[in-house]
Structure 1
């Protein structure tokens, strides 16, 4: 956190105690003397030290009397010549019987020169003669505090205060000793008591200001200093002003009632720093303070969500060769992460965590930030290890003296939650779900755990379960930003558009600079865009029994279809229009099909409905068609739906080329356990204009067999069958009945992923059998390879090239196919 510079305390105390500890200056008898030497001693008392010291220095060491040595020690002490005091004492006075005042001056000189053992020895020598001398006791207490024995100093000073509690000097000494013992707030109490009793004395008020500053209370310290101009020097005053700005930086990082209130504090800190830098930057003597202010100012910029400015200032400081302290590196790392530069943020967080002066209290927070930086760098395995190590490093309970079982450790729970969530982002959703459920059972009122559990439910494609979880959690913190973000995302999955709008509007108004909120607003913005879908295919068939023309698609076929959807109208509705073209070479000749379509789509909770009319031209004049389709969700696992089509789009092009059209429909039932397992059964009857009635059934299933952050392997199965009432004398492939079984393996490998940009490749392989009535059973094989690229939520394109070998009417055929699709939102 921002530094607060505190002047060395004993420098401020030295003048005060120099007077306080010298209640008697020379022997009482000298007060009555009337010689020239006595006159020089009296002048020395008044501050004119040179005449007396000149005379005393000229006395030969062996001829100096005890009185002259005593005078020399005391006058040199008054003049601040500590080295001379020690030299005289060690060469002439060590073996003499000197008065207590001379010994006091000597002990003080040793202490000023930080020769603590010698100072203690002389103080004890004087106390042996006057054990009740309070000035000696105070001097020894201060020496012990400086000598690294603060406990002894505190004990001695407390005894002095207890004997005379209204003496401000004793209170100051005790406060000094407590400060040396690291008890800054106890020390502040003693300085406060001294100020209450003698606050009118500048030296007492000055020490009180320093104590306030050292206790990190710069605001009252600065207020007192400004009330009494000249109380402290300009250097200390400017440092107090910097300390006040640093305090506001710390406050700006704390949770407040609203984001705007936190910004108010951050803006005050920035105004303070701007004023300080404008005033002192030209002053070379203030260079170190200016540098510190620039470093601490980055904290205010970070709290104000001006992370780009944080990075700019950091780079300037680096260019100037400034060493950035650990507490400020945390701001810089967070800023790089906020600016979507996770690789740089990762390096900085590792540097923060390994720093010798890293704050142990921030370790879990920094580890969590490192986890997210690794995750956003697409290094999910490293991120998961960081989370697991953090979970192992924490203990479930904090052991406290007097409590046999200790208290629950909140950081343990946070670390366990992070490790459980790591499973979610590492494609280990079942394990993550199990761990989160265990934690929720232990802490049912933990808001973060419940939100994490709801996010996992969404990832497992259970939006209704997530909705229920969030509704229960609402009672804990109804206006929590994280809760509303999760509810908004769940509402979008459930096609609750109005609810999503209300939640997004609320969090955007309250937390406009929150990255999660900005991401949520972006998702809504994309949802509200127009959408263009383009699908194209092409193929070439080899073999077969029709002069090398494919039985189904011809020797060469090509098709393209585009559909444009409007932005949402009244939330639930979209109109769409599209056009397409298909062609293929058959034994009967080349077929062409041009079509246009216009329709209306309604998307609401649990239901998607589409209705369209179409126009078709396949060489026999324009024909009109229509389609109505519906899909309804029963719950998170079951969905059913169906469609009715007049002049069905599924009519084979080879049939259309012979002026045979088909009307039909379909019905389906889907069961989805989770993101890994899904089965779907569809039945599609159709009636051809040549009198043929066809019924097709298809069962498809998918089971996840392996998941890693960038790799997913699914085992699939396709079982299909069909029956046709008319199988002879038709120009299109029309088996009396058939049955196929095709087990598949699908592999999706992510090559690159960074935020909304993803590039992946797909592999597909399958081998099965195809049985056709009157033509027996033959083997089938499929190989496929594709790639897919998505960018910025608004653009996605993919292609898949496949080779399939299978029999038709007993003749084996190899079909090469390329499928391409594109989606653009604008």
Structure 2
């Protein structure tokens, strides 16, 4: 937190108590004497000390009377010559029977010189003569307070206040003792009582101002000081002004009544600091205060979301050799994290957590921030360790005196939530789900837990479940920014575009500087862009019979297809156009196919629909085709769909090369348990223009077996079969029936990841069997390697090189193939 100027414990108290405790300082006989010496004493009482002190200093030590020694002690005390008082007492008065007034003056001098034991002894000696003297009681109490015995001083002064509560000097003494005991708020009450009774006295008002400052109430302190010009000096006044600005920095980070007010206090603090810095920076004597204001001003900049300015000021202070306090390092670390420099933020948060003056109350918040800094540095394992360690250090309940079971510890719940979320971001989603569910069962009204659980549901590809969770949460906090951001992401997954827009517009208007909101805006912006998709392949086959050409795709085959989608029209619609080209060398010759496509796509909740018309030119003139496809979601787990095509794009190029076309369709059903388990069955009948009827079925499955922050391993399975009605004597690969089983292992390894940029590599290996009617069964072997790169949400490119060895018509064929795809949004 921003620091305040040091407490003014001694300021103004000595002059005040000199008057309060010296009501009788001369023995009565002198008041009636009428000699030149008596006149000098009266002048000393009026403030002219020099004549009397000159005379008394000239009296020989062995000739000085007790009265002269007593006068010397009291007049030197009036003059503030504490060292002279002590010297006279120790050389001339120690063994004399001095009056109470002289003992009091000497005790006060010892106290001013911080010789507490000597002062205490003299106060006790004077009290032995006048036990009920309140001035002596006050003087002893203040000495005890200064001597490190504030509890004794508080006890003594409380008794004095109880005896005479209307006496402001006693209230001041009790307040002084309470201040020395560290009870600034109890002391403020006593200062307030003294101010009520004697507020017109400058010394009382001055102490009240400083008491307000020590109690962290700089605004009323400054108001009172400004109402009475000259009450405190300019140095003290500027420090109170700095304390007021620092208080506003703290308040700026607290919740406000409305979004419009969230920056009002921060702006006031910045205005305060700008005024102070402009006034006092030229004054070399104010250097330390100016440095403190510059440090505390970073908190106002942070609250105002001006994090780049925070970093700039921090670097300037560092360059000047200024030691940045721990509370300000927290602002700097948060600013670096906000500016997407998590490595620097990580180092600063580590310093904050181990700093000797670190506030224990900030440990949870700082550890949480360190967790996210590590996560954004792509150090998920270290981040999870921080979260788990934090969860272990918190106790479920806070032990309070008088409560045998204590109260629930909110920080324990927050730490447990962070540890559970670490599973979500650390690729251990099942563990995170279980831990979050346990916490939600314990605290069903905890908004943070519910939002974290909804985020996990989205990560597990359960958007409808997330939607239901968020809808329940909405009844508790209908306009919470975190809730609306999560609802917008869920709406995007569900293709609820209008809902996404409404939520995004709302949070963007209310919280334009929130990074989650800015991220949501970016994703909406990308969704509204045009999209270019390019897919290309190339391959070379070896084997395949006497010709050496591949049985299915030919030798030296190549293909490319480009499709351009428009930005969304009326939210749900997109039009698209595309061109394609394919070629391959077959035993019958080289085949080519040039295609053009034009279509429309509609994406709504639970459904995606595509319709297109196409033109094909494969050497026999232009021929038109058409396609209609639909996919519908039943729930988070089940999906079905199908398509119908006239002059199907899936017709083998080798058949087209012989002017054989195909019409067909397909239907599928998919079951998806979660992000790592999925099965799909597709059945595709087709009719060829040469009279052949083909039916194909393909079952594919995927099961995740290992996940880590940068590595994911899946087991895959492909089981396929087909049946053709025509004989095998057709100009394309056409088995009477066949059956294949191909288990695979797929590994995805992230090489680099930073925010919206990632680079990964993929490994693929498989071994299975292929059985073809009349040609027996042979083995299949597959190896593949690929890489994928994505940047800034708008660009993604990937390539996969595979080699597969398998039999066709009894002849073994090796196919080397490269697949490349690219997506660009603009």
The structural deviation recorded for 1:157 is 0.8
Match of 2:381 in 1: 381
Deviates more, 1:45-54 or 1:206-215: 45-54
Q: Deviations over 1:327-373 (max 9, x none)?
A: 11111111111111111111111111111111111110111111111
Identify if the C-alpha distance between structure 1 residues 546 and 105 changes in structure 2 by more than 3 Å, giving closer, same or farther: farther
Q: Secondary structure at the match of 1:9?
A: coil
Matches within 5 A, 1:107-118: 107-118=107-118
Match of 1:532 in 2: 532
Match of 1:134 in 2: 134
Is 1:478 aligned to 2:499, yes or no?
no
Is 1:730 aligned to 2:730, yes or no?
yes
The structural deviation recorded for 1:659 is 0.8
Cα distance in structure 2, aligned partners of 1:540 and 1:60:
124
Contact 1:578–1:597, Cα closer than 8 Å, also in 2: yes
Match of 2:740 in 1: 740
Is 1:291 aligned to 2:262, yes or no?
no
Matches within 5 A, 1:412-423: 412-423=412-423
Q: How many residues align?
A: 826
Contact 2:9–2:179, Cα closer than 8 Å, also in 1: no
Match of 2:45 in 1: 45
Q: Secondary structure at the match of 1:95?
A: coil
Cα distance in structure 2, aligned partners of 1:825 and 1:62:
105
The structural deviation recorded for 1:652 is 0.8
Cα distance in structure 1, aligned partners of 2:324 and 2:258:
31
Q: Secondary structure at the match of 2:137?
A: helix
Matches within 5 A, 1:356-371: 356-371=356-371
Cα distance in structure 1, aligned partners of 2:222 and 2:488:
47
Is 1:241 aligned to 2:241, yes or no?
yes
Q: Deviations over 1:715-735 (max 9, x none)?
A: 111111111111322111111
Match of 2:184 in 1: 184
Structure 1 runs, 4 residues or longer, greater than 4 Å off: none
Match of 1:201 in 2: 201
Match of 2:22 in 1: 22
Match of 1:220 in 2: 220
Match of 2:121 in 1: 121
Contact 1:258–1:510, Cα closer than 8 Å, also in 2: no
Match of 1:785 in 2: 785
Cα distance in structure 2, aligned partners of 1:132 and 1:475:
69
Cα distance in structure 2, aligned partners of 1:515 and 1:366:
18
Cα distance in structure 1, aligned partners of 2:528 and 2:122:
86
Match of 2:432 in 1: 432
The structural deviation recorded for 1:64 is 2.3
Match of 2:698 in 1: 698
Cα distance in structure 2, aligned partners of 1:699 and 1:190:
84
Match of 1:639 in 2: 639
Contact 1:6–1:210, Cα closer than 8 Å, also in 2: no
Contact 2:692–2:725, Cα closer than 8 Å, also in 1: yes
Cα distance in structure 2, aligned partners of 1:212 and 1:8:
11
The structural deviation recorded for 1:7 is 4.6
Cα distance in structure 2, aligned partners of 1:259 and 1:302:
17
Q: Deviations over 1:443-476 (max 9, x none)?
A: 0010000010000000000000000001111111
The structural deviation recorded for 1:62 is 3.1
Q: Deviations over 1:358-392 (max 9, x none)?
A: 11111101111111111111000111011111111
Q: Deviations over 1:153-197 (max 9, x none)?
A: 111111010011011111111111111212111111111110100
Cα distance in structure 1, aligned partners of 2:756 and 2:119:
70
The structural deviation recorded for 1:546 is 3.8
Cα distance in structure 2, aligned partners of 1:703 and 1:162:
81
Deviates more, 1:767-776 or 1:110-119: 110-119
Q: Secondary structure at the match of 1:128?
A: helix
Match of 1:8 in 2: 8
Match of 1:490 in 2: 490
Q: Secondary structure at the match of 1:645?
A: strand
Q: Secondary structure at the match of 1:356?
A: coil
Q: Secondary structure at the match of 1:525?
A: helix
Cα distance in structure 1, aligned partners of 2:468 and 2:546:
59
The structural deviation recorded for 1:33 is 1.9
Is 1:400 aligned to 2:400, yes or no?
yes
Matches within 5 A, 1:506-655: 506-655=506-655
Match of 2:79 in 1: 79
Contact 2:299–2:328, Cα closer than 8 Å, also in 1: yes
Q: Secondary structure at the match of 2:512?
A: coil
Cα distance in structure 2, aligned partners of 1:252 and 1:210:
24
Is 1:342 aligned to 2:342, yes or no?
yes
Match of 2:446 in 1: 446
Match of 1:280 in 2: 280
Cα distance in structure 1, aligned partners of 2:328 and 2:260:
23
Q: Deviations over 1:560-609 (max 9, x none)?
A: 10110000000000000000111111111111111010000000000000
* TM-score computed with the length of structure 1 as normaliser: 0.99
Contact 1:336–1:345, Cα closer than 8 Å, also in 2: yes
Cα distance in structure 2, aligned partners of 1:333 and 1:361:
17
Q: Deviations over 1:269-327 (max 9, x none)?
A: 11111111111111111111111111111111111101101111111111111111111
Q: Secondary structure at the match of 2:104?
A: helix
Deviates more, 1:726-735 or 1:133-142: 726-735
Match of 2:720 in 1: 720
Cα distance in structure 2, aligned partners of 1:727 and 1:43:
137
Deviates more, 1:105-114 or 1:415-424: 105-114
Q: Secondary structure at the match of 2:317?
A: helix
Structure 2: stretches of 5+ with no match in the other structure: none
Contact 2:715–2:745, Cα closer than 8 Å, also in 1: yes
Cα distance in structure 2, aligned partners of 1:309 and 1:342:
17
Deviates more, 1:74-83 or 1:513-522: 74-83
Q: Deviations over 1:390-409 (max 9, x none)?
A: 11111011111111111110
Contact 2:704–2:713, Cα closer than 8 Å, also in 1: yes
Structure 1: stretches of 5+ with no match in the other structure: none
The structural deviation recorded for 1:94 is 2.0
Cα distance in structure 1, aligned partners of 2:777 and 2:727:
18
Q: Secondary structure at the match of 1:10?
A: coil
Match of 1:56 in 2: 56
Q: Deviations over 1:111-132 (max 9, x none)?
A: 1122222221221121122111
Contact 2:762–2:787, Cα closer than 8 Å, also in 1: yes
Q: Deviations over 1:3-58 (max 9, x none)?
A: 11145322311100011110012111111222222222222111121222222222
Contact 1:465–1:636, Cα closer than 8 Å, also in 2: yes
Cα distance in structure 2, aligned partners of 1:431 and 1:146:
59
Match of 2:313 in 1: 313
Cα distance in structure 2, aligned partners of 1:498 and 1:511:
20
Match of 1:505 in 2: 505
Cα distance in structure 1, aligned partners of 2:61 and 2:750:
91
Contact 2:618–2:657, Cα closer than 8 Å, also in 1: yes
